[in-house]
Amino acid sequence: MTNRTASRVLAAATALLALGASAGCSTDGAAGADPQRVDVVAAFYPLQFLAERIGGDAVRVTNLAKPGAEPHDLELAPSQVGQVSEAELIVYLKGFQPAVDDAVAQNGDDRAFDVTTVQPLRDATAGGHDHEGEEGHAEEENGGKDPHVWLDPTRLATIGDQLAQRLGKADPDHAADYTARSAALRADLTTLDDEFKHGLATCQRREIVTSHAAFGYLADRYQLDQVGITGLSPDVEPSPQRLAQVIEEAKEHKSTTIFFETLVSPKVAETIAGQVGAKTAVLDPIEGLADGSGADYLSVMRTNLQTLRTALSCS
């Protein structure tokens, strides 16, 4: 080997070593840029809200579902799988996002906090009209269970209490702070619950026609009757038979409003509203925030309350 060839080999080897070291540093930075904070991965927005409120400055929260994206069908990029594998705590809802379930099973089961272990999910068919046979396979995606547990503020508070305990185990030095912040959040959620109970206590109607059956927990908590155009999955197209059923029910209950949501097309809701002689309005399941939104869970829930009060003619 000539001196020139040897020099080229040495230079190439040095470059490869430098590249490997750089990649290693960038990976470490993604997972633990601040060693003073707990690295938390949240599967979608309501869990991000919980982690940020309870964790405060002691945590760094990454949301796997991007703003403006519908989280049901989330597909993870390799970098996001890496975030799951490197996180100190993963907060997710088992069965809601199969890609997240797979990443947790492969990379982080021992560091995962599944909120369904705290709040068992209700049956998709429980209560009201929020299940329809035409799109039954949508319910099967989550084992026949409704994942939208966060729409009952009291259930979300209980999940928050347990999240504080998990954070305390990961970071004992700040355990008392996590407990205090979860108590403060519980107080805020209790106030919100009281506002809903009083705001929806006396209404001319109690039926809500929604673009997909995401509001079962809210309906159960506040004695409403949900009529879901589709099932638990918002991207399932309703059959003509189902559309006819919903139109008939909406006319029967003299519904004045057909609800759609921020992350899903309003076309089906607009079609039904046209047939019924109703208007449309946004009722947000808070699966994610719109890109650039300055809102949070509490403000969106209060907007939902005012929307419901108007649509149901509450006094």
Residue 48 forms part of a structural domain: yes
The verdict on 60 and 117 lying in the same domain is yes
Map 58-90 to HEC letters: HEEEEECCCCCCCHHHCCCCHHHHHHHHHCCEE
**Looking at residue 239, what DSSP letter applies?**
P
Domain of 213, in residue numbers: 201-311
What pLDDT score was predicted for residue 143?
Answer: 60
19 domain-assigned: no
- Which pairing describes strands 207-212 and 225-230: parallel, antiparallel, or unpaired? parallel
Same domain flag for 61 and 190: yes
Residue 30: burial class (beta carbons within 10 Å; 0-12, 13-18, 19+): middle
Q: Token pair for residue 171?
A: 């970071």
At 312 the pLDDT is 97
Query: Residue 246: inside a domain, yes or no?
Result: yes
151 alpha carbon, distance to own chain's centre? 10
How, if at all, do strands 122-123 and 89-92 pair? Answer: unpaired
pLDDT the model gives residue 133: 39
User: What pLDDT shows up at residue 130?
Assistant: 42
pLDDT at 112: 97
Report the alpha-carbon distance of residue 273 to residue 255 in Å, rounded.
Answer: 9
Query: What was the pLDDT predicted at 238?
Result: 87
What's the pLDDT score for residue 306? Answer: 98
Q: In terms of domains, do 162 and 245 share one? A: no
Residues 162 and 242 in one domain: no
β-sheet bridge partners, residue 230: 212
Q: How many domains does the chain have?
A: 2
Residues 174 and 52 in one domain: yes
Q: Is residue 137 part of a domain?
A: no
Q: What is the pLDDT of residue 72?
A: 85
User: Last residue of a domain, which of 195, 215, 234?
Assistant: 195
Residue 55: which of 157, 150, 152, 180 has the closest Cα?
180
Amino acid (one-letter) located at 287: E
Closest CA to 162 of 112, 111, 116, 118: 118
Q: Is residue 62 part of a domain?
A: yes
Same domain, 93 and 118: yes
β-pair type (112-114, 122-123): unpaired
Q: Looking at the structure, tell me whether residues 52 and 153 fall in a common domain.
A: yes
Q: Would you give per-residue pLDDT tens digits along the chain (315 residues)?
A: 444 444 444 444 433 333 333 333 333 334 445 788 999 999 999 999 999 999 999 999 999 999 888 898 899 999 999 999 999 999 999 999 999 999 999 986 789 999 999 999 998 764 444 434 334 433 444 568 999 999 999 999 999 999 999 999 999 999 999 999 999 999 999 999 999 999 999 999 999 999 889 999 999 999 999 999 988 777 678 889 999 999 999 999 899 999 998 877 889 999 999 999 999 999 999 999 988 889 999 999 999 999 999 999 999
Question: Which domain CATH number covers 273?
Answer: 3.40.50.1980
pLDDT of amino acid 210: 94
| Domain presence at residue 210 | yes
| Any domain includes 219 | yes
Task: Confirm whether 245 is domain-assigned.
Answer: yes
182 and 206 fall within a common domain: no
181 and 219 fall within a common domain: no
Please indicate, yes or no, whether residues 190 and 155 belong to a single structural domain of this protein.
yes
- CB of 231 closer than 8 Å to CB of 135: yes
- 219: buried, middle or exposed (CB in 10 Å: 19+, 13-18, 0-12)? buried
Kindly state whether residues 306 and 205 are assigned to the same domain: yes
Q: Are residues 249 and 218 in the same domain?
A: yes
